[in-house]
């Protein structure tokens, strides 16, 4: 078993936005967490889009080269989606016909089956994605991005206020005052910096 800590951050409260956060730059140094196909599958497992058994089977079925190409497609989708989401946040009412057409092309490749199961006298509908080939992986992520536009309020899609932090998140707090990706990371750093500034002012006053 690997003891390497996971490089993935799930702080956004929405898988499509967690996907944007697969590249981040703490202190200005870029960390790319989906640099190859295996990492892409691992991220999809972490995000709940695949289970581990399915990911292992797909890794065997598609092979490294095809998966690495899918990871490149995923990185391209990420930066494209980031631009669109930033525009949507600033201007939700605009006509996004071109962007919608691009996303729909990907969604057309997405396919899944459903299965009704009984769990402790209740029913649940299980969804299982199908992967005819490696090009069906990225559409699963595109579906999560599409959900942002349908389900989320653009004014609550926020970028972390931490210095140098590039992470995005959905503000699900009641008062809508969430400012940081994580209170323990950026929140604390910001507090410490504010404290230092106050201390500085006090000594120079």
13 or 129: CB nearest Zn ion: 13
| Least distance (Å) between residue 181 CB and Zn ion | 3
57 or 161: CB nearest Zn ion: 161
**Cβ neighbours for 200, distance < 8 A, ≥ 6 positions apart:** none
| Least distance (Å) between residue 143 CB and Zn ion | 26
Q: Which 140-199 positions form the footprint of Zn ion (CB under 5 A)?
A: 160, 162, 165, 167, 181, 186
79: its two tokens? 């930066």
Helix 52-90 to helix 37-46 angle (10° resolution) is 80
25 or 126: CB nearest Zn ion: 25
Interface size with Zn ion, residues (CB under 5 A) = 6
| Least distance (Å) between residue 182 CB and Zn ion | 6
Q: How far, in Å, CA of 19 to CA of 168, rounded?
A: 10
| Least distance (Å) between residue 27 CB and Zn ion | 11
- Contact pattern for Zn ion over residues 6 through 45, marking x by CB under 5 A: ----------------------------------------
Strands 168-170 and 157-159: what pairing?
Answer: antiparallel
User: Where is 3: in which H helix or E strand?
Assistant: none
Per-residue burial over 52-71, b if 16 or more Cβ lie within 10 Å, else e, is eebbeebeeebeeebbbebb
Q: DSSP character for 93?
A: T
Please report whether residue 81 would count as binding Zn ion according to CB under 5 A: no
User: What's the Rg (C-alpha) of the chain?
Assistant: 20
| Least distance (Å) between residue 186 CB and Zn ion | 3
50 or 160: CB nearest Zn ion: 160
140 or 166: CB nearest Zn ion: 166
| Least distance (Å) between residue 176 CB and Zn ion | 17
Q: How far, in Å, CA of 106 to CA of 160, rounded?
A: 29
145 or 160: CB nearest Zn ion: 160
- Contact residues toward Zn ion (CB under 5 A) are 160, 162, 165, 167, 181, 186
């Amino acid at each position: 078993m690997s003891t390497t800590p996971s490089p993935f951050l799930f702080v956004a409260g929405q898988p499509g936005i967690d996907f944007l956060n697969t590249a981040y730059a703490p202190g200005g140094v870029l960390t790319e967490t989906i640099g190859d196909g295996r990492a892409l599958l691992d991220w999809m497992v972490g995000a709940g889009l695949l289970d581990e058994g399915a990911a292992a089977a797909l890794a065997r079925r598609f092979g490294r080269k095809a998966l690495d190409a899918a990871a490149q497609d995923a990185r391209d989708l990420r930066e494209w989606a980031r631009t669109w989401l930033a525009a949507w946040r600033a201007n939700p009412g605009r006509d996004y016909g071109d962007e919608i057409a691009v996303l729909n092309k990907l969604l057309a490749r997405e396919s899944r089956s459903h299965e009704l199961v009984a769990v402790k006298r209740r029913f649940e509908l299980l969804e299982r994605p199908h992967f005819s080939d490696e090009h069906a992986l990225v559409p699963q992520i595109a579906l999560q991005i599409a959900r942002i536009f349908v389900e989320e309020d653009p004014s609550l899609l926020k970028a972390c206020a931490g210095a140098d932090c590039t992470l995005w998140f959905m503000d699900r707090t009641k008062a809508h005052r969430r400012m940081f990706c994580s209170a323990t990371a950026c929140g604390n750093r910001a507090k410490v910096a504010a404290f230092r500034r106050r201390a500085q002012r006090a000594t120079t006053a």
